[in-house]
Chains A and B, each alone.
Chain A
Amino acid sequence: DVKVTQSSRYLVKRTGEKVFLECVQDMDHENMFWYRQDPGLGLRLIYFSYDVKMKEKGDIPEGYSVSREKKERFSLILESASTNQTSMYLCASRDPRMGNNEQFFGPGTRLTVL
């Protein structure tokens, strides 16, 4: 079974802090994604990476950056956390060779910025 893990289930940070959210997948998937999920807004794509060292902006990249130095790890970085970045963050991975576009999700990190 594919396993996607996220470094924390719950995280509390202060405004202005630099925050790292880590995601690791163990199935050699090329594609990885970061979403945020907010009530009434559904899932919104922040960034995705289609391969190592490759990244593309999603729909809401402002205030975020990402890093993909190794295939199994995709990091989301909040350079200076703000209260409006309080949200549930979901990481996902996908093997584009499968042809079915199925994404495998981690359990999520609920981030609170005070």
Chain B
Amino acid sequence: SQQGEEDPQALSIQEGENATMNCSYKTSINNLQWYRQNSGRGLVHLILIRSNEREKHSGRLRVTLDTSKKSSSLLITASRAADTASYFCRSGGSNYKLTFGKGTLLTVNP
């Protein structure tokens, strides 16, 4: 499976600071996606970056992709308490077997 692995497992910051999470994957991909999960809820798709892209922005989110290192990072700028959640990456290819990593638990303290 093309499992993504997030790093760190947990991150605690103050409101207004930036949060950076990293993801590594094992096989070649067509795209990589980041998802967010609020406590006790399902996952919500945040952003997708394709294998031929190096950086992508969406609001306060910035995603980078380095296919040579098989890694991606998610940056949340000017974090808010409402950003507190778990964040997952998922590498995507032609495989139906789409699997996730263990996630990064982000806590933003007010």
Using CB atoms and an 8 Å cutoff, list the residues of chain A in contact with chain B: 4, 31, 33, 35, 40-45, 48, 50, 56, 58-59, 88, 90, 92, 94, 100-108, 110
> How many residues of B are counted as interface, with CB atoms below 8 angstroms from the partner's CB atoms?
23
Rounded to whole angstroms, the CA-CA distance of A108 and B33 in the bound complex is: 20
- B80 vs chain A, min Cβ distance (A): 23
CA gap between A94 and B45 in the complex, in Å: 12
The count of A-to-B residue pairs whose CB atoms sit within 8 angstroms is 68
Taken together as a complex, chains A and B put the C-alpha atoms of A107 and B37 apart, in Å, by: 10
Are B43 and A103 interface neighbours, CB within 8 A?
yes
Q: Can you list 5 contacts pairing A with B, beta carbon distance less than 8 Å?
A: A31-B96, A41-B102, A48-B96, A59-B1, A103-B90
Q: Are B40 and A42 closer than 8 Å at their CB atoms? A: no
Q: B6's closest neighbor in chain A, by CB?
A: A42
Q: List residues of chain B with CB under 8 Å of any chain A CB.
A: 1, 30-31, 33, 35, 40-45, 48, 88, 90, 92, 96-103
A4 touches B42 (CB 8 A): yes
8 new A-B contacts, CB < 8 A, other than A40-B102, A45-B98, A103-B43, are A43-B103, A92-B43, A100-B48, A101-B48, A103-B45, A103-B90, A106-B42, A108-B40
